[in-house]
């Protein structure tokens, strides 16, 4: 494994981007490469080879990207020295990636490239993932010989249920080794998500309490303020559960619940995360019904505008049963977490953007503070890992209120990244692309974890497929009332979404 403490430039390679004229490339990949160049993570031996159906030569793609950066608030990046250097190393092949001819051309270009190393990035619709991989393999483009690496990078969704995820993995692994497949979950590029492991394993006072003796329950929230907007077609076929849970929320859950790995190398970390996902309890249909609720937002004011109901969103079926909010109560059946509920929720058009993990510890058992469990001034300790926005850590503890009588008061120890570090101006993909180029799979998902995640949500998918309507919730609220009932039945409440 490379030395994670020192940021040497990635090795020479060609980044082949399928879908080079699409939104992902211009909005994310190019700005990321520019940031990486500025930060010394890339040298001048990175070449980009764009592939897309649109006609044109090398200049066409460079001009396209240039214009986009300038017109979309990225003038600084567009005028940077990094971009001026990078764009001299961008070339383009126009053609249809469902046809063989283009792969011969890619092969020819790679033979001419200064380095034979290549990473193939599939910035295309997921239905093409299997086909492109098979064709790359057929043309020998995934052969790794004489120290040369060939890698593929794909981004979720990895299937839409357990069976399709298994099929996708089988297709990929028929043509490529697992060590060549980099499955991106962009949550793992977030600094604060990566910080979960450090928070736990670099701090004895935290890790020592990190088990069912001391933890009462865990809440994992990915609340979004944005509504479905122009993504109706994709979203109506997907829904909040598929879109967020088996991937992003389960990645957070795995980091919270994993055992300490033997080392921080990719396989050790992925083994431990995989074990957590495999230990998620698989519910029967009745259990799934008791442990899940869902909602869809109604029409109402949001952000100073009148938001139409989800079912009135363009490209959404008026009689749609798709949920824009889901909450689940799950169990991780391991020694460490036996009996500790994990409450997960995510939704759109909610009160605020707020992604966080809240660990609530058990109440002190003590009688010195009369009737401790019911005293509002002696709440249980909480650790809040604020993933976004306002990245940071907060710890809720109790102190003695100054004065002659023994009175306690809850206070918060509050750490915000922004107060101490500059973590702005990043796309969140820098570390992902860097690790892809270096060949470190720690931040990428392995086939078995993907399937374990889908296996745990499959009972909910089956349940939701029965046509029942999601419960309504008002835009700008904290979700449907049924979500409060789900957690309220256990005598608990959700942590408030957004700041007070
Ligand atoms: C994507 C989902 O994977 O993650 C989107 O498809 C969602 O629906 C997004 O909005 C959330 O990511 P982030 O980084 O904005 O929290």
Say what the pLDDT of residue 369 is: 63
Residues 192 and 151 in one domain: no
Atom of ligand 1 nearest to the CA of 156: 3
Residues 119 and 227 in one domain: no
Say what the pLDDT of residue 406 is: 77
Residues 194 and 295 in one domain: yes
CATH of the domain at 366: 3.30.360.10
Say what the pLDDT of residue 165 is: 97
Say what the pLDDT of residue 1 is: 41
Say what the pLDDT of residue 11 is: 94
Average pLDDT over residues 386-390: 92
Atom of ligand 1 nearest to the CA of 187: 14
Domain boundaries, position 50: 2-155
Residue nearest to atom 6 of ligand 1 (CA): 243
Residues 240 and 127 in one domain: no
Say what the pLDDT of residue 74 is: 85
Residues 341 and 473 in one domain: yes
Asked if residue 120 belongs to a domain, the reply is yes
Residues 134 and 200 in one domain: no
Burial 286-325 (b: 16+ CB within 10 A, else e): eebeebbbbbbbbebebeeeebbbbbebeebeeebbbbbb
CATH of the domain at 111: 3.40.50.720
Annotate 147-178 with DSSP letters as a single string: T--EEEEEES---SSHHHHHHHHHHHHHHS-G
Residues 142 and 200 in one domain: no
Residues 135 and 249 in one domain: no
pLDDT in tens, 255-292: 999 999 999 999 999 999 999 999 999 999 999 999 99
User: Which of 193, 225, 243 has most ligand 1 atoms within 8 Å of CB, for mutation?
Assistant: 243
Say what the pLDDT of residue 375 is: 63
Asked if residue 75 belongs to a domain, the reply is yes
Q: How close is the Cα of 248 to the center of ligand 1, in Å?
A: 8
Distance CA 21, CA 26 (A): 7
Residue nearest to atom 4 of ligand 1 (CA): 244
What percent of the chain lies above the pLDDT cut of 70?
96
Say what the pLDDT of residue 424 is: 66
Say what the pLDDT of residue 249 is: 98
Asked if residue 203 belongs to a domain, the reply is yes
Helix extents (H) in 284-337: 285-290
Asked if residue 283 belongs to a domain, the reply is yes
Say what the pLDDT of residue 175 is: 97
Structure tokens at 397: 């503890």
Length of the chain equals 500
Say what the pLDDT of residue 408 is: 84
pLDDT tier for residue 146 given thresholds of 50, 70 and 90: confident
Residues 150 and 192 in one domain: no
pLDDT in tens, 1-18: 444 445 689 999 999 999
Phi-psi region of 146 (alpha: psi -120 to 50; beta: other; left: phi over 0): left
Helix extents (H) in 72-203: 75-79, 81-86, 101-112, 129-138, 162-175, 191-201
23 is in an annotated binding site: yes
Asked if residue 399 belongs to a domain, the reply is yes
> How remote is the C-alpha of 472 from its chain's centroid?
26
Which of 104, 136, 155 is the last residue in one of the domains? 155
Residues 204 and 83 in one domain: no
* Ligand 1 pocket by Cβ (under 6 Å): 186, 224, 243, 355
Q: How many domains does the chain have?
A: 2
Catalytic residue, chosen from 47, 217, 248, 495, is 248
Sheet holding 118-122, edge to edge: 90-94, 46-52, 13-18, 118-122, 150-155, 181-184, 444-445
Distance CA 355, CA 223 (A): 6
Residues 226 and 144 in one domain: no
pLDDT beyond 70 at 442:
yes
Distance CA 152, CA 474 (A): 42
Asked if residue 397 belongs to a domain, the reply is yes
Specify whether the CB–CB gap between 449 and 273 falls below 8 A: yes
pLDDT in tens, 393-405: 999 998 988 988 8
Atom of ligand 1 nearest to the CA of 247: 3
Average pLDDT over residues 28-49: 93
What is the average pLDDT score of the chain? 93
Residue of higher predicted confidence among 209 and 368 = 209
pLDDT beyond 60 at 52:
yes
User: Who's near 457: CB < 8 A, 6+ residues apart?
Assistant: 241, 242, 245, 246
Residues 226 and 122 in one domain: no
Asked if residue 65 belongs to a domain, the reply is yes
Which of 130, 155, 180 is the last residue in one of the domains? 155
User: Which of 224, 241, 355, 386 has most ligand 1 atoms within 8 Å of CB, for mutation?
Assistant: 224
Specify whether 248 is catalytic.
yes
């Amino acid at each position: 494994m490379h030395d994670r403490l020192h940021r040497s430039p990635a090795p020479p390679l060609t980044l082949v981007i399928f879908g080079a004229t699409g939104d992902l490339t211009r909005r994310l990949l190019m700005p990321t490469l520019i940031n990486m160049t500025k930060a010394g993570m890339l040298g001048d031996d990175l070449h980009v080879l764009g592939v897309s159906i649109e006609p044109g030569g090398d200049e066409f793609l460079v001009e396209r990207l240039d214009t986009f950066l300038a017109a979309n608030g990225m003038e600084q990046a567009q005028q940077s020295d990094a971009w001026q250097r990078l764009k001299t190393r961008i070339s383009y092949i126009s053609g249809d990636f469902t046809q063989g001819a283009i792969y011969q051309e890619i092969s020819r270009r790679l033979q001419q490239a200064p380095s034979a190393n290549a990473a193939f990035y599939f910035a295309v619709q997921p239905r093409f993932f299997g086909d492109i991989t098979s064709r790359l393999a057929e043309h020998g483009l995934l052969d790794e010989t004489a120290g040369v690496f060939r890698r593929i990078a794909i981004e979720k969704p990895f299937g839409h249920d357990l069976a399709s995820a298994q099929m996708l993995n089988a297709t990929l692994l028929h043509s490529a080794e697992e060590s060549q497949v980099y499955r991106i979950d962009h949550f793992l590029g977030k600094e604060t998500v990566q910080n979960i492991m450090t928070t736990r394993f670099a701090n004895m006072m935290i890790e020592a309490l990190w088990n069912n003796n001391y933890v009462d329950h865990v809440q994992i929230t990915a609340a979004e303020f944005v509504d479905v907007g122009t993504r109706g077609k994709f979203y109506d076929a997907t829904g909040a559960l598929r879109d967020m849970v088996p991937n992003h929320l389960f990645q957070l859950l795995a980091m919270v619940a994993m055992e300490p790995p033997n080392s921080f190398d990719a396989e050790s970390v992925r083994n431990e995360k995989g074990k957590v996902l495999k230990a998620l309890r698989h519910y029967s249909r009745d259990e799934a019904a008791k442990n899940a609720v869902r909602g869809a937002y109604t029409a109402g004011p949001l952000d100073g505008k009148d938001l139409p109901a989800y079912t009135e969103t363009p490209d959404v079926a008026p009689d749609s049963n798709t949920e824009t909010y889901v909450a689940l109560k799950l169990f991780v059946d391991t020694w460490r977490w036996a009996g500790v509920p994990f409450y997960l929720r995510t939704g759109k058009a909610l009160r605020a953007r707020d992604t966080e993990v809240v660990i609530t510890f058990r109440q002190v058992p003590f009688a010195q503070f009369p009737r401790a469990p019911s005293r509002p001034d002696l709440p249980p300790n909480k650790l809040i890992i604020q993933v976004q926005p306002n990245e940071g850590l907060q710890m809720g503890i109790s102190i003695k209120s100054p004065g002659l009588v023994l009175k306690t008061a809850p206070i918060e120890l509050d750490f915000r990244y922004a107060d101490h570090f500059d973590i702005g101006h990043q796309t969140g993909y820098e570390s992902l692309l860097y690790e892809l180029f270096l060949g470190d799979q720690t931040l990428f998902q392995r086939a078995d974890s993907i399937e374990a995640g889908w296996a745990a949500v499959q009972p909910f998918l089956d349940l939701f497929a029965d046509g029942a309507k999601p419960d309504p919730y008002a835009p700008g609220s904290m979700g449907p009332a049924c979500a409060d009932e789900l957690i309220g039945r256990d005598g608990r409440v959700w942590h408030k979404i957004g700041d007070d």
